[in-house]
Every structure is written in C-alpha cells, then in structure tokens.
Amino acid sequence: MPTTAPRLIRSIRLLDAAEARIASEFTAPPPPQSPLATDALLALAHEYQPTAMLVTHMTPLRATDIAALPECVKLVATVSVGLDHLDLAALHARGITVSNTPDVLTDCNADLSMMLILAASRRAAEYFTLVKTGWTRPLGLGDMLGHRVTGKRLGIVGMGRIGQAVARRARGFDMEILYHNRSRLPPEHEAGATYYAQLEDMLPQCDILTLHAPAQSSGAPLMDERTLSLLPRGAVLVNAARGKLVDESALMNALRSGHLAGAGLDVYQTEPNPNPELVAMPNVFTTPHTGSATVETRTAMCMLALDNVAALAAGRPLPSRVTP
C-alpha cells in the first residue's frame, strides 16, 4: 500500500464492497466489530491520525467532541443524508470539511414511504397479527376494512428529492398530490401538484399526510395536537423523515379517538427504543428507521462517502460537500 494513500477511520463497519475498496485505496485500521461510541472514535483519531473520519448517526459529534479532534482531521464524511448528529458550525469553525450522501437513497426512501402509506391505509399490521396469532374464522363483509389508497388526496410536507419521488409513485395510484414546502416548485417539478404556502390550509384537504421535511430548528414538533386536529377524521399519517416532527402523545390520542385511522412510522422521538405504547397500537404500522436499508442503497452511500475522501486527498471538488 503506497504511503500516500489517504488515511481514514470509520465509526462502523461498512458494506463489503466498500470495505474492499478501503483495503485497496486507503490506509485504515481494521473495521470496528461494533459501532464506536464518540469517545472511542476520538481516541482512535488521536491514535491513528487520519485525514478523514467516516461516521453515521450512531456516533454524534458535538462541539466539545469537535474541539477534541486532532489537527490532522480535515474531513468528516457522514454516511447519511441527515446531519442532526453533527455540529456543523463547530466543524466549519475548525476548518473541517463535511460531506453527506444525498440523492443515492432517494428512491429507497420513497419506496418505503409508499409501503407505509399502503400498509397504514390497508391495516397491514392488524392483518399480519391476525394471521400470525391464529386466524380461526372467515372475515365478514364488514370486518377489518381498510381504506383504498387509489384516488385519495396525498399531502406531502417537504417537496425535496424524496417528497418528489413519493409524488411520482403516488401518481401511479391516481392520487391527487398536494404539498407544503418552504417555497413553491417550478411548474415542471410540480407536475400538476397543488401548492399550499400555509400548512394549516393544506391539512384539512389531506386523506393521507406524509412527512419529508427536516426537524424544525426550534425542536418543536410540526404535527402536534392542533395540527393533527386539522386533518380530516379518518386520515392516515406517515412519517419516514424525523421522529421529532411528531408529538407522539398527541398522535396516540388521535389514533385512540379514531380521528386518525392509522399511522405508518419509520422514525420515532426516541430511537432505538421507541415508546412501547405507541408501537403496540394495532393501527400503527412500524419499521425500525430503515428507509435506506437495501444492499444497493447502503453500498452506494458508503461509496459516495469514500468518493468524498478520495476527492479531498486529490484536491478535487467533493461530490457531496455540505456548505456552511
């Protein structure tokens, strides 16, 4: 291995194809057997003196952690789109470049969102439980009826890459697309969707609401008792974006009262230990934060993170640099 190969450390073992690339193109210690805590990653950085660090949301870097990094670290490459686990201001203040992995996970996140929409609307969690625990009699004509997705009004909060990809899939179900975004999209990107500048104006029109926005800077939930009450009775809520977007106590109340017919959730306020009362509700379909969890997408995320390390070492523009 040439001594000029870029030096890196990672907080977690990457997928096999990416690990093979590290062995071929980079100088790195063996991959960790389990995800490293932040203090263990900092200790490894001082021991190994890398130019770049690859991290995920499981290893947050806050201001005090960043202040403790050795001077050799020039890049923090997160194998994620989200940046909530990084103090960007502190990293940039130290002159450390940051990269993430957008675009490559758009389709898989949109696929999962459609799965949540279908599963929550068609009572998939209840059907699964019934068959697994003992389906002993035929269902009557009016038993365990879900709601049709085809032709419904789908409200999308956050019409970025993933929101637009969900809209494309929903059009295959002849759904009417409504959306709320910080700004209106150009007509060619709207593709006939109806824009609402105010979320409160859109919510009463939504049969199904799906969230694809970042967490609010205030930390307050976007969907709380007030905003949930604006949805029509019998609506479905889907969240595959950020757990902080939803007040889970208010959500449970809306589900118990029947104001909401169901919910499809991939993210939660507390992970990896979501509220057991919430996930046990029969009309909640749950997945464990797996929007990007396919071989193809996770491999592409790892490779894009390594592309950023290689570009930094070669003095080229980074393919997915996060600007201050």
Catalytic residues, by residue number, are 242, 271, 289
Residue pair 75/7 in contact (Cβ under 8 Å)? The answer is: no
Q: Report how far residue 284's alpha carbon sits from residue 263's, in angstroms, rounded to the nearest whole number.
A: 5
Q: Report how far residue 35's alpha carbon sits from residue 49's, in angstroms, rounded to the nearest whole number.
A: 19
The 10 Å Cβ neighbour count of residue 141 is 5
How is residue 132 written in tokens? 């697994």
| C-alpha dihedral sign at 62, 64, 66, 69 | negative
Residue pair 65/85 in contact (Cβ under 8 Å)? The answer is: no
